Structure 1
Amino acid sequence: MIRWNPGGQGGSPVHDPDDALRASIEHDRDLAWELYDVRPEHPRIAELARSVLEREPQFTGMIILLALHREACGDIEAARELLQGLVARRDRQYVNAVKKLRDLEFSDRRFAEARRLAELALREDPEPGWLDVMDLGSALVFTGDPAGGWDRIDEAVEMAARQDPERYADALGQRATRLLGTGAHPSRFLPAAQEALAADPGEPLLATTLAYAYLYDYRPAEAEQLLRGVLSEDPTDEIAQGGLTVARAFLNPVERGDATMEVLRASGMGEIAWRILRDQMFGTGIEEALAALDGVMPAELAESMRDPLDGEAASESRGEGRILAWHDGQRPGSGDAWGIAGGFRLMTSAEVADMEERIERSPEDWPQWSTEDEYFTLILTDDAGGYLIEGPGGRLLQRRDGAPDRQAAPSIADWLWDRVAAFGGEDPRPAGHVAGDASGSAEGGTPVR
């Protein structure tokens, strides 16, 4: 505010001190946010924010900035306390504080609390945005309701089309990214990725992951085209390189006339391709699972393990070389050490070779087995005529004479990760993955034939 000073020389105006103070406060507030945008952990941010609050306590947006700053500095608990205190005030920053606290809890993997706050934000905000609905969808996925969560993410995209058409392409990209990151089935991810890539053709991650979804859907020519486009822009993209190798593994035998797409489908190559992508993205392969097991398996299980097989011998064996190089099987009768029903234990390389040789010599004695027209790898046995084998698509199947095969887990890696989780280890698989029945018992699992 400017006041007129009639007693001054020439009747000159003078500035109100309150106006200057207000300008100083707003300058420091804006500078603090600008610093955060450039360097979130800058120490001046806290100094400026506290100075603003001392001079103008009603500028509680500075508390949000302080919380974001503390989070950027790695002090999650301090950030949480600041936001919780602001939420308790229920002032004009209430809804913003709820949303920031929701985001913090989600990033700190406290998904149940993030879900509660996401639901609260939608109730309290008179005009919730599509991104708020999408955040609730993600929280639902991580708290045990993947289908419901993915439906809410779809709903958010529809909201964006109506309410925020300028950001519709962003909403499509967010949906595809969240579906991928939460382990949605490729049949759900594929159309979402197609829409997102059509809206933003220059996004290489979408192109690469869509290519893997095409491989799952047995559309290798379309996958190859996408992957070659990605590699033309970045020849060092390892995931795209791997995808192109897999695409050619589909196409080469078909082009030579050695196989048909129906044969490849029966072998489960599409499932294997999608699992390759998952394992690359999340670090959920067999090697990672075995390394995790080393840190958590009980002493009884560790004591039941045989010494590792030499690396070259493991790779040349008929069994699963990565497991044999970890441990060359377990002692007979030690399957209960895994802590699950069924009593299955890892087979040794010698046991695998001996059994396959017996099947080859006398196939009539093994009517459920064929070493000529069936892909399988022997992995575990219950020492009573039951086996867990890797079958088509990399699925882990239980096989027992006179009974239909049953799926014990989506893959041997999934079976191992189930054990890691049961022993208290961290499970890096995406939230929406479908855990298999790891019991391997005759009663459990899904019949597959």
Structure 2
Amino acid sequence: MSANDETDLLDQDVDLALALYKAQPEHPQIAALASRVLASKPDHTGMKLLLGNHLRACKRYDEARTIFQGIAGQNDTFLINAAQYLRELETLVCNYEAALTWADLARQLDPEGWHNQLHYGGILAHTERADEGWRLMEEAVALCAHTDPDNLGNARIVESYYLIMTYAPPERFVPSAEEAIRLDPSNSYISDVLLYAYLLQGRFEDCRKLALRLLREDPTNSAAGSLMRMFRTWDMALETNPQLSYAQIHESGILARYWTQIGDERVGVGPSAALAALDAVLPAAVSDTLLPGLSAEEARDTLGEAALVAWHDGQRPGAGDAWGLGGAFRLLSSAEIAQLEDSFRADAEAHPQWQETTAFDAFWLLMTDDADAYVVCLADGSIAIRRPAMPDEKISPCLSDLLWGLVVAFGGTDTRPPGRRGAH
């Protein structure tokens, strides 16, 4: 085979690997093609970068990191590419300190560019320096508007993503999200979060209008559908209770829980993620008492907290104070929860604490000590221990905080962004 033929075959491998990566980044043939090219051309940095990104897509993070670090060590024109990919990789695995180091290097290598400054600010916002990170993102977007106005929509979208991932307050998120959606109305990811921002700000009509638009575009949009069902419930409650108003609902603070919940879900650190982490560290003496969980569909149809009953639908007695709550609490099953709620309604006089007169009285049963105490989630999202004829004893700002606290107590790691841990 002539040298030209060999070069043609290598070029075909390169083209095919690029095409496969574009269509399916984790396609197994990519690694084989990349290895064949690199066997003939070990200095083909473009193919090394492609292989690194393929490995990252396959969640083979250590191998991808080794490749990118090797390219960075070449200290040539590909250094900025390696820094950017390492920034993304370390952010993906929640190693924010390392991500910030690579983000800072990329920013230094491109001092006039808005893109790397925006990512630096976004990663900085994952740390305890969130305010500084948000300010730097704002400056990067302003720089984009001045120097690269055609890409302002992309800048706003990236900024909005980072604001979501770093639990920025609605007053900071809303202007960015509204502009991003104006430039790209099809971005449902940002639109869904904007719904909850409007809700927290008390902009109920804006929330309704956006939810209706999203449902017209996609009738299966779960966030919009859930909020419209909630509005219908509230509307009926207001009709039967003229003393209650939307202004009171807003002022009560019970809507704050939705903002934190939507952030946890988008970041991937909500109750389900905490429960998965808990599975890895629970001692056998506790895990052996847990009953099998329900399917996601079954869990949604119960009166229990969906993530909990999908994880384990109840717990047998016998684990003692396994959860560190100061009593022999165990998880309630969905069937037990339904029976308890029926009994509370059937004899309201005997159970005054359990009557839901207004939206502020809502609760979700989680655990019992099989005596007279229960762990409940309250309307504002906080977790409390409820005992007869006593004020609720709040033990955690929200379910995520309680569960991640248990993960740490059992020897695991809280993988949430530093600024989110207990931030309520």
* Offset, 1:112: 2.4
Q: Does the C-alpha gap of structure 1 residues 240 and 251 become closer, same or farther in structure 2, counting only changes over 3 Å?
A: same
Note if 1:107 corresponds to 2:92. Answer: yes
Q: Does the C-alpha gap of structure 1 residues 80 and 317 become closer, same or farther in structure 2, counting only changes over 3 Å?
A: closer
* Offset, 1:290: 5.1
- C-alpha contact (below 8 Å) 2:124/2:130 kept by paired residues: yes
CA distance in 1, matches of 2:273, 2:92: 23
CA distance in 2, matches of 1:401, 1:344: 17
Q: Does the C-alpha gap of structure 1 residues 265 and 294 become closer, same or farther in structure 2, counting only changes over 3 Å?
A: same
Unaligned 5+ segments in structure 1 are 1-20, 437-445
Q: For residues 192-226 of structure 1, give each alpha carbon's deviation from its aligned partner in whole angstroms, at most 9, with x where no partner exists.
A: 21221122233222222211221222222211211
Partner of 1:375: 361
Partner of 1:80: 65
Partner of 2:422: 435
* Offset, 1:431: 6.1
CA distance in 2, matches of 1:388, 1:321: 15
* Offset, 1:410: 2.4
CA distance in 1, matches of 2:118, 2:283: 40
Note if 1:204 corresponds to 2:185. Answer: no
- C-alpha contact (below 8 Å) 1:102/1:117 kept by paired residues: yes
- C-alpha contact (below 8 Å) 1:221/1:247 kept by paired residues: no
CA distance in 1, matches of 2:357, 2:48: 69
Work out which of the residue numbers 377, 396, 401 in structure 2 matches 1:409: 396
User: What letter corresponds to residue 119 of structure 2 in structure 1?
Assistant: D
Question: Which has the higher mean CA deviation after the structures are superposed, 218-227 or 28-37?
Answer: 28-37
Note if 1:96 corresponds to 2:81. Answer: yes
Q: Does the C-alpha gap of structure 1 residues 126 and 283 become closer, same or farther in structure 2, counting only changes over 3 Å?
A: closer
Partner of 1:9: none
Aligned-residue CA RMSD (Å): 4.9
Note if 1:238 corresponds to 2:222. Answer: yes
Partner of 2:407: 420
* Offset, 1:434: 4.2
CA distance in 1, matches of 2:379, 2:9: 64
The alignment partner of 1:408 has SS state of strand
CA distance in 1, matches of 2:277, 2:13: 43
Query: What does residue range 158-197 of structure 1 map to in structure 2 within 5 Å?
Result: 158-197=142-181
Q: For residues 298-330 of structure 1, give each alpha carbon's deviation from its aligned partner in whole angstroms, at most 9, with x where no partner exists.
A: 345457x6879999xx99999879868733685
Partner of 2:24: none
User: What letter corresponds to residue 190 of structure 2 in structure 1?
Assistant: L
Q: Does the C-alpha gap of structure 1 residues 120 and 375 become closer, same or farther in structure 2, counting only changes over 3 Å?
A: same
TM-score normalised by length of structure 1: 0.68
Query: What does residue range 26-425 of structure 1 map to in structure 2 within 5 Å?
Result: 34-40=15-21, 42=30, 43-48=32-37, 51=40, 53=41, 60-72=45-57, 75-123=60-108, 125-254=109-238, 258=242, 259-265=244-250, 268-274=253-259, 277-278=262-263, 281=266, 293-302=278-287, 326-327=313-314, 334-335=320-321, 337-339=322-324, 345-346=329-330, 360-361=349-350, 375=361, 377=363, 389-397=376-384, 407-425=394-412
Q: For residues 360-385 of structure 1, give each alpha carbon's deviation from its aligned partner in whole angstroms, at most 9, with x where no partner exists.
A: 5598xx9xx98757626476689999
User: For this pair of structures, how many residues does the alignment match?
Assistant: 402
User: What letter corresponds to residue 74 of structure 2 in structure 1?
Assistant: R
Q: For residues 52-85 of structure 1, give each alpha carbon's deviation from its aligned partner in whole angstroms, at most 9, with x where no partner exists.
A: x46xx5x644543443355456654443333322
Q: Does the C-alpha gap of structure 1 residues 81 and 385 become closer, same or farther in structure 2, counting only changes over 3 Å?
A: same
CA distance in 2, matches of 1:66, 1:306: 43
Which structure has the bigger radius of gyration?
Answer: 1
CA distance in 2, matches of 1:44, 1:210: 43
Q: For residues 87-114 of structure 1, give each alpha carbon's deviation from its aligned partner in whole angstroms, at most 9, with x where no partner exists.
A: 2232233333322333333334433222
- C-alpha contact (below 8 Å) 1:49/1:65 kept by paired residues: no
* Offset, 1:415: 1.0
Q: Does the C-alpha gap of structure 1 residues 401 and 362 become closer, same or farther in structure 2, counting only changes over 3 Å?
A: closer
User: What letter corresponds to residue 395 of structure 2 in structure 1?
Assistant: A
* Offset, 1:284: 5.8
* Offset, 1:189: 2.3
TM-score normalised by length of structure 2: 0.72
* Offset, 1:29: 8.6
The alignment partner of 1:390 has SS state of strand
The alignment partner of 2:247 has SS state of helix
User: What letter corresponds to residue 146 of structure 1 in structure 2?
Assistant: A
* Offset, 1:158: 2.2
CA distance in 2, matches of 1:380, 1:75: 39
Q: Does the C-alpha gap of structure 1 residues 67 and 404 become closer, same or farther in structure 2, counting only changes over 3 Å?
A: same
Q: For residues 1-52 of structure 1, give each alpha carbon's deviation from its aligned partner in whole angstroms, at most 9, with x where no partner exists.
A: xxxxxxxxxxxxxxxxxxxx99x97x8897666444421253434434554x
The alignment partner of 1:127 has SS state of coil
- C-alpha contact (below 8 Å) 1:29/1:49 kept by paired residues: no
The alignment partner of 2:202 has SS state of coil
Identity between Structure 1 and Structure 2 (%): 30
CA distance in 1, matches of 2:293, 2:118: 48
Q: Does the C-alpha gap of structure 1 residues 302 and 181 become closer, same or farther in structure 2, counting only changes over 3 Å?
A: same
Unaligned 5+ segments in structure 2 are 22-26
Q: Does the C-alpha gap of structure 1 residues 272 and 161 become closer, same or farther in structure 2, counting only changes over 3 Å?
A: same
The alignment partner of 2:380 has SS state of helix
CA distance in 1, matches of 2:331, 2:357: 22
CA distance in 2, matches of 1:99, 1:319: 44
* Offset, 1:271: 2.8
* Offset, 1:171: 0.5
Q: Does the C-alpha gap of structure 1 residues 217 and 407 become closer, same or farther in structure 2, counting only changes over 3 Å?
A: farther
CA distance in 2, matches of 1:320, 1:177: 28
- C-alpha contact (below 8 Å) 1:282/1:428 kept by paired residues: no
CA distance in 1, matches of 2:146, 2:315: 60
Q: For residues 342-362 of structure 1, give each alpha carbon's deviation from its aligned partner in whole angstroms, at most 9, with x where no partner exists.
A: 568458779x88999999559
